[in-house]
Chain A
Amino acid sequence: TQLLEQSPQFLSIQEGENLTVYCNSSSVFSSLQWYRQEPGEGPVLLVTVVTGGEVKKLKRLTFQFGDARKDSSLHITAAQPGDTGLYLCAYSGAGSYQLTFGKGTKLSVIP
């Protein structure tokens, strides 16, 4: 099993600030997924990145897949309290249905 390391583990910022969280590994992935999990709820898929160097935007969220497909980042512009939650990256191995998750970054956006 390939290990996904997410950083920072915790992040508390003021509303309106920008932030970046990271998902790193020493292994190469065919794809990576980003999820957001709100308190008391299950994870919700935000995006899947597939191609090295790929950048995907989802409103104020920008996802990037590293050129070598070993890492990914999530940048949030002008964070809002509604962005509060646990951000998880995950992968499924080739031909596999098992999702392997990182431990996540717990984001708190203070109004």
Chain B
Amino acid sequence: NAGVMQNPRHLVRRRGQEARLRCSPMKGHSHVYWYRQLPEEGLKFMVYLQKENIIDESGMPKERFSAEFPKEGPSILRIQQVVRGDSAAYFCASSSSRGETDTQYFGPGTRLTVL
């Protein structure tokens, strides 16, 4: 399966712990996007990355959230000191190039539950 891969699929954390969500883009894709889907809400853009660069993090909360896409390995979305309001499904998407006409392919998501 050459699709976007995310792991873990489910993650449970207690308040104050750290959550690390991983995303491997489709083969040949160098553009990664993270979205968050809160209960009863639509998908919201969080951040757009290319290899070793954060291009746009305008949708990321200012504190506790960070993202990276290293030269080697998957993209990581890191949430420090999680709170219950962070409980959501986090989706990664990838595309082969930037642009409004380029299709973003979504992964299956990581469902984060904060106890």
Chain A residues with CB under 8 Å of chain B are 4, 30-31, 40-45, 88, 90, 92-104
What are 18 A-B contacts with C-beta separation under 8 Å?
A30-B100, A41-B109, A42-B4, A42-B91, A42-B106, A42-B107, A45-B104, A88-B43, A93-B100, A94-B100, A96-B100, A97-B31, A97-B98, A97-B104, A99-B33, A99-B35, A101-B43, A103-B40
Whole-angstrom distance between the alpha carbons of A93 and B59 in the complex?
Answer: 15
**A-B CB contacts (within 8 Å), total count:** 59
| A98 close to B41 (CB less than 8 A) | no
| B99 close to A97 (CB less than 8 A) | yes
| B43 close to A98 (CB less than 8 A) | no
| B42 close to A40 (CB less than 8 A) | no
Chain B interface residue count, CB cutoff 8 Å, equals 27
- Min Cβ gap B7→A in Å is 13
- Min Cβ gap B38→A in Å is 10
| A95 close to B42 (CB less than 8 A) | no
Closest to B98 in A: A97
B108 is an interface residue with CB less than 8 A from chain A: yes
Whole-angstrom distance between the alpha carbons of A28 and B96 in the complex?
Answer: 27
| Chain B, range 27-74, C-beta contacts under 8 Å to A | 31, 33, 35, 40-45, 48, 56, 59
Whole-angstrom distance between the alpha carbons of A45 and B95 in the complex?
Answer: 13
Closest to B41 in A: A103
- Min Cβ gap B45→A in Å is 4
| B45 close to A99 (CB less than 8 A) | yes
Interface centre among B40, B48, B106 (most CB of A within 10 A): B106
